[in-house]
Amino acid sequence: MSSHITLRVARYRPEEEAESTFEDYEVPCPRDWVVLDGLNHVKDQIDGTLSFRWSCRMGICGSCGMLVNGEPKLTCATFLADYAPGPIRVEPLRNFPVIRDLIVELGDFMGKLTRVKPWIIRQVEKPLSDGEYRQTPEQLDEYKQFSMCINCMLCYSACPIYGLDPHFIGPAAIALAQRYNLDNRDEGASERMRVLSEHDGIWGCTFVGECTKVCPKHVDPAAAIQRYKLQAALDWVKGVVLPRATS
Amino acid sequence: MAVTPSFDVILVGGGGAGLRAAIAIAESAPTLRVAVVSKVYPMRSHTVSAEGGAAGVIAPDDSHDEHCYDTISGGDWLADQDAVEAFVREAPQELLQLEHWGCPWSREPDGRIAVRPFGGMKKMRTWFAADKTGFHMLHTLFQTSLKYSGVVRYDEWFVTRLLVDDGRVHGVIAIELATGRIEVIPARAVILCTGGCGKVFPFTTNAAIKTGDGMALAYRAGAPLKDMEFVQYHPTGLPFTGILITEAARAEGGYLINKDGYRYLQDYALGAPQPKPVLRTMELGPRDRLSQAFVKELEKGRTIDTPYGPVVHLDLRHLGAALINRKLPFVRELCMKYQNIDPVKQLIPVRPVVHYMMGGVHTDIDGATPLRGLYAAGEVACVSINGANRLGSNSLPELLVFGARSGRVAAEYAAGAPEPGRHAEAQLRDEQRRLETERVQPGGRERIADLRQEMQAAMEDSAGIYRTAAALSRGVDTLRALQERARDLRVEDQSRTFNTERIAALELSFMLDIAEAIVASALQRQESRGAHQRTDFPRRDDDRFLAHSIAERQTDGSCRVGYLPVTITRWPPAERVYGERPPDRGLKHELSHYTSSRTVPS
């Protein structure tokens, strides 16, 4: 393995240029360096103007998602050596407006996340003095995988529907809606269902499952979307056949 | 002149403490205007990285007094006992509140909350969500906070300065990262919830964002820092990355072994090895003792050399794949991804790594600092419940208990405090001039990364696990020199849009101030207590140092250290004993002399 590798990094400086360009940087390539280490080497030693987000460097804060050779990746968990001999193309996540260099605008997702009401909704809140809501390990397993979403946006970047139709509420927000819908402490599924049905983007999801493939935390948003569609279809049928059965 | 709407309370930092405080205000005083100002989106905050769990007494065989005793003895009697009692009393309610908000706590088969053992704790009282407890707590808090539409968020705004006038805090000055806009955000009260400052050290579990911003903001505004010399090394970090391998790995039965495969902790007054984990014994001893034992093993030549320095091994192999997958899935994921080893079959190389600041902004039991209108909660604050050494799984409930307390108390204060006035504008103009001048100033000679690295090396050299007067004095001099060199910083990036280099320069400046406070406090404490070990003063000295150090910034930028008494209520100072039954506790003694302010070292 060569001791260095070239990072071909997308640069975009909105105050100076109308579109993004690529710049090459040669960085060391020890076995345990990840793409993010390479970017930090550039920032610290070669070009202090390169801008990107990062924080925990252990795959849990969700900050450092980028395209690596065209694929959405957490750069803290993507090893340089796996791309030898290079060069490695590093770009901002696809399907988002770029603020600068490798930094994308997340405001759209933040709004969508709020819209699906990702919190416990109950008709009557139990007082703390009554202790915990019981939840067996099996009940926990019902929603657990959907609670593992770190909001890293890789799934939005991979989603062909979101790419075409930015109104689509998107994989992570739907997975998080399901995370609460499937929680036995929650009673808000019908409220969330209304939000999810506001826009027909969800019916455009063709079960390509790109979201699930790129998820670094093994969440299965595609399954959440299919479950939602099935539920929505059942509700529709119930609404037509047995109008009084719907809430 | 950009002045945004005025708020009643601003939270600086959107991690666990900040979000808990925001929700407390939204619930207790729904008419108040609240803002969360954070340099990252709240769900990126470092609370997300906490793994093992959160302590709160719920088991029938447990008691508040036992949790108090473990915490106080674990902290080598430097904790304020009234604060510990409040903390222990309120922690279970807070954890239960999170359960009601949806936190996916791990459960018993019948659906009740499960608890696990943890280091330095005599009873099983650590709630957990597998080994991603902080992640689940943070996302639960963040998602719950979204239902309070009155809480305004300033995501990716970096606070550069507190507005202070006439001895009161009146808001903050902050840069919006995306645009470079510099604005005053006026408020009647400000709560600092920015977390710790692990990044002043070279090898840390802390995320890149842990640069002590809140500590520096307070310190510069005239609020003192307390007990800054107490820096926790976690005994088990992965070499190179410093990624934390949670204490839960030992709580579930992992062994620490040296190069001979020997469970070396038995040589360090931590009890005798048993096949199964025993509470307050061996691998479930407190973090300070375990990290110190590593250094002793290193000196005896019994560690293992690796390209990233000496390590010992954490052995989980006997636990089996099923238990590891159920209780420690993140440990396995991190080892496989970052260390290329599978703990089901292989030994995990680990070494001590800077993890947590026991010290922080000096607050009272409600999170109030001596500066009117300024509060602090979470790791940024020092209440103090952690004393000279924090027990694992006390920090997550701490940020809930004191986040909620400070939120409620700041809300009450804000309701009666004067409206922030026009004086803000002069300070804004000053700050804008300073930041703009620095942004476009070309031609400095010193690289940010170089100074940062030299600062980190100086900190490890002087304020590591074992300290001496000579090394600490060297540290003081090095940091002074770095402060001088930092005036000539080279910042290549002159743009306004998401200028991360500019932010890195501001963070470096914050860190240098904090580093000086740590080293100055450590130099002056001529004793060994908890995480502060002086080889030139190897004993605890209650006559002179049963006292909180108080570091205050002087007008010339230097640090002056004084002392305040420790509050002792029911647990008089005693020897820390691990590996056997702790001494009788809960006895009420005549303690008045401990609470007087007699301990002012010369």
Q: Give the span between the Cα atoms of B70 and B392, in whole angstroms.
A: 11
- Using the predicted structure, report yes or no on whether residue B598 has a pLDDT greater than 60: no
Q: What is the mean pLDDT of residues B546-569?
A: 97
Check residue A243 and give its pLDDT: 55
Same-domain status, A115 and A230: yes
How does pLDDT run across B267-280, given as a tens digit for each residue?
999 999 999 999 99
B416 in contact with A at a CB cutoff of 8 Å?
Answer: no
Mutate: best of A27, A35, A43, A53, partner B, most B CBs <10 A: A53
Q: What is the mean pLDDT of residues B72-96?
A: 98
**Residues of B identified as active-site:** 234, 250
How does pLDDT run across B170-215, given as a tens digit for each residue?
999 999 999 999 999 999 999 999 999 999 999 999 999 999 999 9
Sign of the torsion formed by the C-alpha atoms of B541, B544, B548 and B549: negative
Q: What is the mean pLDDT of residues B50-63?
A: 96
Q: What is the mean pLDDT of residues A186-202?
A: 83
How does pLDDT run across B17-56, given as a tens digit for each residue?
999 999 999 999 999 999 999 999 999 999 999 999 999 9
Q: Cβ A15–B501 below 8 Å, yes or no?
A: no
Q: What is the mean pLDDT of residues B507-522?
A: 98
Q: What is the mean pLDDT of residues B63-91?
A: 98
Same-domain status, A95 and A54: yes
Q: Which of A47, A76, A104 is the last residue of a domain?
A: A104
Q: How confident is the model at residue A242 (pLDDT cuts 50, 70, 90)?
A: low
Q: Report the Cα B419 to chain-centroid distance in Å.
A: 32
Same-domain status, A148 and A241: yes
B49 in contact with A at a CB cutoff of 8 Å?
Answer: yes
Residues of B in contact with A54 (CB under 8 A): 208
Same-domain status, A56 and A171: no
Same-domain status, A137 and A238: yes
Q: Cβ B208–A55 below 8 Å, yes or no?
A: yes
Residues of A in contact with B45 (CB under 8 A): 61
How does pLDDT run across A125-167, given as a tens digit for each residue?
999 999 999 999 999 999 999 999 999 999 999 999 999 988 8
Check residue B427 and give its pLDDT: 84
Q: Cβ B46–A137 below 8 Å, yes or no?
A: no
The per-residue DSSP string of B271-315 comes to ----SS--TTSGGGS-HHHHHHHHHHHHHTT-SB--TT--BEEEE
Q: What is the mean pLDDT of residues B549-574?
A: 96
B111 in contact with A at a CB cutoff of 8 Å?
Answer: yes
Q: How confident is the model at residue B582 (pLDDT cuts 50, 70, 90)?
A: very low
Average pLDDT over chain B, rounded to an integer: 93
- The least confident of A207-211, B167-171, B505-509 is A207-211
Same-domain status, A209 and A114: yes
Q: Cβ A103–B498 below 8 Å, yes or no?
A: yes
Amino acid residing at A8: R
Residue position matching structure tokens 């793409």? A35
Q: Give the span between the Cα atoms of B234 and B239, in whole angstroms.
A: 12
Domain ranges, residue A31: 4-104
Provide, rounded to the nearest whole percent, the portion of chain A with pLDDT above 90: 78
Residues of B in contact with A110 (CB under 8 A): 41, 155
What's the CATH number where A21 sits? 3.10.20.30
> Who wins on pLDDT, B467 or B579?
B467
Residues of A in contact with B97 (CB under 8 A): 128
Confidence (pTM): 0.95
Mutate: best of A13, A33, A56, partner B, most B CBs <10 A: A56
Same-domain status, A87 and A123: no
Same-domain status, A128 and A33: no
Q: How confident is the model at residue B439 (pLDDT cuts 50, 70, 90)?
A: confident
How does pLDDT run across B332-358, given as a tens digit for each residue?
999 999 998 999 999 999 999 999 999
B41 in contact with A at a CB cutoff of 8 Å?
Answer: yes
Q: What is the mean pLDDT of residues B59-74?
A: 97
Contact B232, B289 (CB under 8 A): no
B152 in contact with A at a CB cutoff of 8 Å?
Answer: no
Q: How far is B372 from chain A (nearest CA, A)?
A: 32
Same-domain status, A99 and A113: no
Q: Cβ B501–A134 below 8 Å, yes or no?
A: no
What's the CATH number where A145 sits? 1.10.1060.10
Q: Cβ B97–A128 below 8 Å, yes or no?
A: yes
Q: Cβ A128–B100 below 8 Å, yes or no?
A: yes
Q: How far is A144 from chain B (nearest CA, A)?
A: 7
- Using the predicted structure, report yes or no on whether residue B592 has a pLDDT greater than 70: no
Which one, of A72, A59, A76, A68, lies nearest residue A154 by Cα?
A72
Q: Give the span between the Cα atoms of A105 and B25, in whole angstroms.
A: 29
How does pLDDT run across B277-298, given as a tens digit for each residue?
999 999 999 999 999 999 999 9
E-assigned strand segments in B2-64: 7-12, 34-38, 54-55
Q: Which of A65, A81, A104 is the last residue of a domain?
A: A104
Same-domain status, A33 and A121: no
Provide, rounded to the nearest whole percent, the portion of chain B with pLDDT above 90: 89
How does pLDDT run across B222-265, given as a tens digit for each residue?
999 999 999 999 999 999 999 999 999 999 999 999 999 999 99
Segment holding B157, helix H or strand E = strand B157-165
Beta bridge partners of B185: B172
Check residue A241 and give its pLDDT: 67
Q: What is the mean pLDDT of residues B55-76?
A: 97
Segment holding A8, helix H or strand E = strand A4-11
- Using the predicted structure, report yes or no on whether residue B588 has a pLDDT greater than 70: no
How does pLDDT run across B131-176, given as a tens digit for each residue?
999 999 999 999 999 999 999 999 999 999 999 988 999 999 999 9
B566 in contact with A at a CB cutoff of 8 Å?
Answer: no
Check residue B597 and give its pLDDT: 37
Same-domain status, A97 and A123: no
Q: How far is B582 from chain A (nearest CA, A)?
A: 31
Could you give the C-alpha distances from B313 to B208, B308, B322, B391, B597, in angstroms and in order? 26, 14, 21, 22, 45
Q: Which of A88, A104, A120 is the last residue of a domain?
A: A104
Q: How confident is the model at residue B599 (pLDDT cuts 50, 70, 90)?
A: very low
Mutate: best of B211, B243, B338, partner A, most A CBs <10 A: B338
Check residue B602 and give its pLDDT: 37
By C-alpha distance, the chain A residue nearest B494 is: A49
- Measured between CB atoms, which of B104, B243, B490 is closest to A147? B104
What total of structural domains would you count in chain A?
2
Mutate: best of B36, B43, B97, B149, partner A, most A CBs <10 A: B43
How does pLDDT run across A83-141, given as a tens digit for each residue?
999 999 999 999 999 999 999 999 999 999 999 999 999 999 999 999 999 999 999 99
Same-domain status, A82 and A138: no
Residues of A in contact with B44 (CB under 8 A): 53, 55-56, 61-63
Check residue B594 and give its pLDDT: 38
Q: How confident is the model at residue A197 (pLDDT cuts 50, 70, 90)?
A: confident
By C-alpha distance, the chain A residue nearest B207 is: A56
Which residues of B, range 324-383, sit inside 8 Å of A by Cβ? 330, 333-334, 337-338
Sign of the torsion formed by the C-alpha atoms of B410, B415, B417 and B421: positive
B147 in contact with A at a CB cutoff of 8 Å?
Answer: yes
